[in-house]
Structure 1
Amino acid sequence: MNYEILIVDDLPIIVDGYINLISATNFQRKPNFIKSYNFEDAYNKIFLNIKIQVNINVVLLDTSLPSYKEFNINDGVDLALLIREKFADCKIIIITLQNELLTVDRIIKKIKPEAFFCKNDITSESFPFIFKKIIDGNIYQSKTIIESQKELFKKNINWDVYDNEILILISRGVKTTNLPAYIPLSMSAIEKRKANIKDQLLEGKGSDNDLVSKAKKMGLL
């Protein structure tokens, strides 16, 4: 039985690079690579594997690709959560250039990936060794990801993952009235959380633009 590895990145040269590096790793089973360059194609290949009853064992995922709105894949977090639901034993490896404090925290809290890299932290020499550790059952976070979590802790912000999502979605231009379509909370609950965010960042005063601007100045977004 093959070891099924799904790689999702919009740059074919990056996908091929991962394949070359992984192919140099010692496997007990032969790896079979599934390439996807966007979330729509990845979504379709996930369900194709379900249909033919083939488990996906590992996913390498860039979370920052364009959304696939038709099936509510707004970002890589949504795709990773789908993978968690459909393939319970799949190891999820997040490899991204995104290192904003709240984005990193959201990915860790929602996905709990087996590995989380900033692309700038890995080299062709280090990647095969780390990949082998991950498939052997270890958890890994790269230097930038660890530093991001430490920096967020220093800011002493008393938020959970929903608060993070509210601010991230507002920064993407989603209006407050539309937030319940993205977050499983009532409008009143969202408004209370948003008020708490404004209290902490703006002492309760200011517009959504002011809120986003302050969050960016603090390095949260």
Structure 2
Amino acid sequence: MPLNILIVDDHPMTVDSYVNLLSDDSFNKTEADFYKNYNCESAYKKIQFLKNQNQNIDFAILDVNLPAYPELNILSGIDLAAVIRKTHPQCKILLLTMHTEVFIVNRVLSDIKPEGFIYKGEINFESFPSTCEKILSGETIYSSEIIKSQRAFSKKDYDWDQFDTKILSLLAKGVKTVDMPSHIPLSMSSIEKRKANIKSRLLLGRGSDTELINKARQLGLL
């Protein structure tokens, strides 16, 4: 059976380069079918189409920064990876990024647990196929910049968890702080303290909710 490989990047030439590199006879010695997409909406629809056709996605290569699909709140490659985890749980996922901010890296590693997470500046035409082959063979590959960021997060007390991410998500959806206790199991005082802590970390304590949301999106937290 051929491998079903989903590739999502907003640069068509990059997608074609990945396909060419993984089409070489020396790669994996297995025939592959490639599904090329350039934004979250088309990728989401392809993921669902394959699921409805009872076809697996064996390997997904996703850029973190992608044109969003706001109707379904799929705003990045991280969100696409979460969809794949639910719809194609056996799929191996490689995420590629130009951002190694600790909050982004921590979110990816804690929520997605990808088989591969690579800083784009650490990969080239020579290493890309071998990295993909290692992932397909069962290895977990994180590049050195990702590991460095992960260690930086572990060494500092960022005091950040899924509730902080949920608070940001609710703000982005227009939910007022006063209404949040009906959405998450926290008291109003706890939510207010967390929100103040989030603003302190992302905006150095100053800024509106809109500025906070924009900063969170910029960092890949939404």
Q: TM-score, normalised by structure 1?
A: 0.80
What letter matches 1:116 in structure 2?
A: F
1:98-177 paired onto structure 2 within 5 Å: 98-164=99-165, 166=167, 177=176
Structure 2 SS opposite 1:107:
helix
Hey, what does 2:9 align to over in structure 1? 9
- Aligned letter for 1:13? M
Counterpart selection for 2:193 from 192, 195, 205: 195
In 2 relative to 1, CA 63–4 (structure 1 residues): closer, same or farther, beyond 3 Å? same
Query: Does residue 89 of the first structure (1) align with residue 87 of the second (2)?
Result: no
Distance 2:183 2:162 in 1: 12
Task: Flag the 1:134–1:169 CA change in 2: closer, same or farther, 3 A.
Answer: farther
Aligned-pair distance for 1:169? Answer: 8.1
Report the Cα offset of residue 109 of structure 1: 0.8
How far residue 94 of structure 1 moved from its aligned partner, in angstroms, is 0.3
CA 1:180–1:3 in structure 2 vs 1: closer, same or farther (change >3 Å)?
farther
CA distance in 1, matches of 2:196, 2:152: 20
Residue 196 of structure 1 and its aligned partner are, at CA, apart by 3.5
Instruction: Provide the rounded CA distance (Å) in 2 between the counterparts of 1:68 and 1:157.
Output: 30
CA spacing shift, 1:220–1:92, aligned 2, 3 Å: closer
Post-superposition offset of 1:126: 1.2
TM-score (norm 2): 0.80
Cα RMSD, aligned residues only: 3.5
Distance 1:200 1:7, change over 3 A: closer
Say if 1:105 and 1:149, in contact at 8 Å, map to a contact too: yes
* Matches of 1:81 and 1:179, distance apart in 2: 29
Alignment of 1:16-35 (within 5 A): 16-24=16-24, 25-35=26-36
Corresponding residue SS for 1:93:
strand
Residue 199 of structure 1 and its aligned partner are, at CA, apart by 4.9
Per-residue deviation, 1:137: 0.4
- 8 Å contact from structure 2 (residues 7, 34) kept in 1: yes
Map 1:60-79 to 2 at 5 A: 60-79=61-80
- Match for 1:11: what amino acid? H
In structure 1, C-alpha distance between the alignment counterparts of 2:95 and 2:127, rounded to whole Å: 16
Residues in 2 aligned to 1:133 and 1:42: alpha-carbon distance in whole angstroms: 24
Number of paired residues?
Answer: 212
Cα shift readout 1:171-197 (whole Å, capped 9, x = no counterpart):
xx765628989xx94285586245146
Assess if the C-alpha contact under 8 Å between 1:59 and 1:93 holds in 2: yes
CA contact (8 A) 1:63 1:77 kept: yes
Question: Counterparts of 2:179 and 2:88 in 1: how far apart (Å)?
Answer: 27
Structure 1 residues 33 and 194 mapped into 2: Cα distance closer, same or farther (>3 Å)? Answer: farther
Aligned amino acid, residue 184 of structure 2 = S
Instruction: Kindly indicate whether the alpha-carbon contact (under 8 Å) linking 1:114 and 1:139 is maintained by their aligned counterparts in 2.
Output: yes
The 1:199–1:128 alpha-carbon spacing in structure 2 relative to 1, beyond 3 Å, is closer
Question: Kindly, what percent of the aligned residue pairs are identical?
Answer: 36
Maintained 8 Å contact 2:164/2:198: no
Matches within 5 A, 1:19-58: 19-24=19-24, 25-58=26-59
Aligned-partner Cα distance in 2 for 1:169–1:95 = 27
1:126-152 C-alpha deviation (Å, 9 max, x unpaired): 111111110000101011111111122
Per the TM alignment, residue 158 of structure 1 is displaced from its structure 2 partner at its CA by 2.2
